[in-house]
Amino acid sequence: MRLGIRARQRFGEVVHWTVLAVFSILLGFPFYWMFITSFKRGPDLYNLKNNPFIFNQKPTLEHLKLLFNETLFLRWLGNTLFAGIFVVAITLLLALPAAYALARLTGRWGGRVGIAIFLTYLVPPTLLFIPLSRIVAQLGLQDSLWSIIVVYPSFTIPFSIWLLMGFFKSIPRELEDAAMVDGLTRFQAFIKLVIPISVSGILTVVIFTFTLVTQEFVYALTFISSAAHETVGLGVPVFLVRGDVYYWGSLMAACLIASLPIAVLYNSFLDRFIAGFTVGSVK
Amino acid sequence: MSALGRQRWLGPAMFLPAILYVVALVGVPFVLAFFYAVGDVKVGSVGYHFVGLANFKSVLQSPAFLRALRNSFVFTICSQILVLIGANILAIALKNAFPGRRFVRFIILLPWVAPVSIGSIGWKWILDSLYSVINWVLIRMHLANEFNPPMWLGQPTLAMMSVILVHTWHMLPFATVIILAGWTAIPKDIPEAAAVDGARFFRRLFQIELPMMLPIINVAVLFGVIFTFTDMTVVYILTRGGPYDTTQVLPSLAFFTGILGSDLAEGAAISLFLVPVLAVVAWLMLRTAHRAEVT
């Protein structure tokens, strides 16, 4: 079939937008569904005769009220924030100096250690959770938010070191050399010079670490057993269900509230995380 | 001490704390997992007796384990094939600028950036036995029987399909953005020269562009395999491994045996079956990293 150039371009456009529309619907639909479920009245929600895609009765805030007044949802958000702040602090404290040392002070050998550290990121929670459950118990941290605060840095530190190493390597060496000629020690140069100009790299690590705290499921499920100590990623899917009863309205409202802010945050930093995954295979 | 001498210990002093932390919470439990698997550790038990390969023997004789082993491979292979096809198509559709691109990218990324446990509970509602919206549509289109609609999570084959599709939904954006990063990095001049020479879209794609993209597609697949093979969240939330253990995968079975069933030793033995696959992936990644170091 021989088509004119114009016709072929038109055809390409149509295919392009069809592909985008189909994928957007497939990938985004659950979030639309969370949204509409959150604001539908119970009788509307559970009437099979109604068209489920639209509001057949006036929207309501009853599910949100139930969620905030009668469940531990706010507590879970607070727990997540609390754990997140500590995990971020531990991660920065350990990963920043380590990344700098491996980028600058250890030569070729540092790159090897960096790769070894990155490989630990590949060891999954589902391989470690059984021994860790005992370690956590021996530390007296079972069923406490501190269990995850201690354990989460074990996977946020490796990826953060990897990201920061790349970042530090892009800073010209002459900058620190000049400062050291001016009488600063190497460590002072790191604190006073390198850290301030690495703010965007540090911010990336903060966001990355924080999103991982909200997304992690397996460790939280293993170590924490009482509802009051859960993070939001575990509390919502596991503890918002009472017995066998699902309060779908409140449940979906909780899902929407818990996922959208994180999604917006993560989205704005995404390109840098991806750079961390693709080091070495993209030039 | 001389400045040079100080330099010498500064490096290790700066990276050792991080490395010790990671060794203590990744290295030690990793070794302990092997140690548990050849012992008789239970929750609350004291002492340790070496039992050799007894745990592995009992695991290998259990039909639930064999099913989980097979499911793990089906789960990983099927979802990764779907992810690979979908992500490549989507990346091509997204690679050039068009009005609204940022918004479309945000929508497409949602399944990856939202917590997976929460995305899965959304799907649990979509696939509900009574109020499934999919069934509502199928019934209106006369593709399903109103009085006996498909039980997406209650019937073994459908449940396995659901678990695979939900995981594909979650992983697709991740692979897409990695492949997209590759598209922006390949040199533009070669495909353009080919276009000038009259090579059509598909010929250009399969003979020039995709081969150039191969290393980065590799990265997407390797991470995808790791994140899929070792995942239990989707299975745990959607089906708890049911009905009758038919959707159990290795990590979830290890969880039910080791943590909920208190048999740490057998749970550890089950999770160790993840190691060979992880080792192969790690080896392949090291090769990629090494090649990048050389060139």
Contacting A residues, span 160-219, partner chain B, CB-CB under 8 Å: 161, 185-187, 211, 214-215, 217-218
Provide the ipTM: 0.87
Whose CA is closest to A157, among A109, A201, A99, A199? A99
Contacting A residues, span 47-86, partner chain B, CB-CB under 8 Å: 48, 52-53
Q: Lowest-pLDDT range, A35-44, A215-224, B163-172? A: A35-44
A34, B124 Cβ separation under 8 angstroms: no
Q: Lowest-pLDDT range, A137-141, A158-162, A266-270, B155-159? A: A266-270
Say if residue A280's pLDDT is above 60.
Answer: no
Q: Which of A23, A53, A105 sits opposite B10 (nearest CB)?
A: A105
Q: Taking phi first (over 0 means left), then psi (-120 to 50 degrees means alpha), and beta for anything else, what does residue A140 get?
A: left
pLDDT of residue B70: 94
A282, A227 Cβ separation under 8 angstroms: no
Q: Among B1, B9, B15, pick the best mutation site for testing chain A contact (most A Cβ within 10 A).
A: B15
Provide the percentage of residues in chain B whose pLDDT is more than 70: 93
Which residue does chain A place closest to B24, by CA atoms? A154
For chain B, the domains span: 55-294
Q: Give A110's contacts in chain B (Cβ within 8 Å).
A: 11
Mean pLDDT value of segment A65-83:
90
Q: Which of B89, B181, B251 sits opposite A126 (nearest CB)?
A: B251
A105, B3 Cβ separation under 8 angstroms: no
Query: Is the minimum CB–CB distance between A277 and chain B shorter than 8 Å?
Result: yes
Contacting A residues, span 84-123, partner chain B, CB-CB under 8 Å: 94-95, 97-98, 100-102, 105-106, 110-111, 113, 115, 117, 119-120, 122-123
pLDDT per residue as tens digits for the range B182-240: 887 777 777 677 776 666 778 878 888 888 888 888 888 988 999 999 999 999 999 99
Whose CA is closest to B221, among B191, B274, B176? B176
pLDDT per residue as tens digits for the range B225-278: 999 999 999 999 999 987 888 999 999 999 999 888 888 899 999 999 999 999
Q: Give B262's contacts in chain A (Cβ within 8 Å).
A: none
Tell me the CATH class for A65-278. Answer: mainly alpha
Q: Which of A19, A123, A252 sits opposite B89 (nearest CB)?
A: A19
| pLDDT, chain B, mean | 87
CB contact under 8 A, B110 and A31: yes
**Residues whose CB falls within 8 Å of the CB of residue A61, separated by 6 or more in sequence, listed in order:** A39
- One-letter amino acid at A61 equals L
Tell me the three state secondary structure of residue A245. Answer: strand
Q: Which of B22, B113, B123 sits opposite A30 (nearest CB)?
A: B123
CB contact under 8 A, B25 and A233: no
Q: Lowest-pLDDT range, A76-80, A107-111, B54-58? A: A107-111
CB contact under 8 A, B19 and A98: yes
CB contact under 8 A, A27 and B178: no
B87, A214 Cβ separation under 8 angstroms: no
**Residues whose CB falls within 8 Å of the CB of residue B113, separated by 6 or more in sequence, listed in order:** A211, A259, A262, A263, A266, A267, A270, B173
- Residue A120 pLDDT grade (very low, low, confident, very high; cuts 50, 70, 90): confident
**Residues whose CB falls within 8 Å of the CB of residue A48, separated by 6 or more in sequence, listed in order:** B130, B131, B136
**Residues whose CB falls within 8 Å of the CB of residue A186, separated by 6 or more in sequence, listed in order:** A105, A176, A180, B6, B7, B10
Q: Which residues pair with A242 in a beta bridge?
A: A245
Q: Which of A110, A157, A270 sits opposite B18 (nearest CB)?
A: A157
CB contact under 8 A, B136 and A234: no
Distance (Å) of CA B249 to CA A179, B254, B264 = 56, 9, 17
Mean pLDDT value of segment B86-101:
89
pLDDT per residue as tens digits for the range A180-198: 888 888 888 888 888 888 8
Q: Lowest-pLDDT range, A39-43, A103-107, A190-194, B19-23? A: A103-107
- One-letter amino acid at A259 equals S
Residue with the larger pLDDT of the pair B50 and B248: B248
| pLDDT, chain A, mean | 86
pLDDT of residue A243: 63
pLDDT of residue A75: 93
For chain A, the domains span: 65-278
**Residues whose CB falls within 8 Å of the CB of residue A200, separated by 6 or more in sequence, listed in order:** none
Bond prior to B63 in cis (omega within 30° of 0): no
Chain A closest CA to B242's CA: distance in Å? 16
pLDDT of residue B293: 54
pLDDT of residue B113: 86
Chain B closest CA to A50's CA: distance in Å? 10
Q: Give A27's contacts in chain B (Cβ within 8 Å).
A: 107-108, 110-111, 169, 172-173
Task: Give me the torsion for CA of B102, B103, B107, B113, rounded to 10°.
Answer: 50
Q: Taking phi first (over 0 means left), then psi (-120 to 50 degrees means alpha), and beta for anything else, what does residue B44 get?
A: left
- Residue A279 pLDDT grade (very low, low, confident, very high; cuts 50, 70, 90): low
Q: Give A101's contacts in chain B (Cβ within 8 Å).
A: 10-15
Helix ranges (DSSP H) in A39-106: 42-45, 62-70, 73-100
Say if residue B4's pLDDT is above 60.
Answer: no
- Residue B97 pLDDT grade (very low, low, confident, very high; cuts 50, 70, 90): confident
pLDDT per residue as tens digits for the range A163-183: 898 888 888 888 888 888 888
A115, B286 Cβ separation under 8 angstroms: yes
Say if residue A261's pLDDT is above 80.
Answer: yes
* Architecture of the B55-294 domain: Orthogonal Bundle (1.10)
Written as six digits, the tokens of A201 are 């790299």
Mean pLDDT value of segment B39-66:
85
Say if residue A271's pLDDT is above 90.
Answer: no
pLDDT of residue A183: 85
Chain A closest CA to B57's CA: distance in Å? 19
Burial (CB < 10 A; 0-12, 13-18, 19+), residue A209, is buried
Whose CA is closest to B176, among B77, B78, B89, B104? B89
Angle between helix B3-22 and helix A73-100 axes, rounded to 10 deg: 150
Q: Give B216's contacts in chain A (Cβ within 8 Å).
A: 278, 281-282
CB contact under 8 A, A27 and B172: yes
Say if residue A202's pLDDT is above 50.
Answer: yes
pLDDT of residue B295: 44
CB contact under 8 A, A94 and B32: no
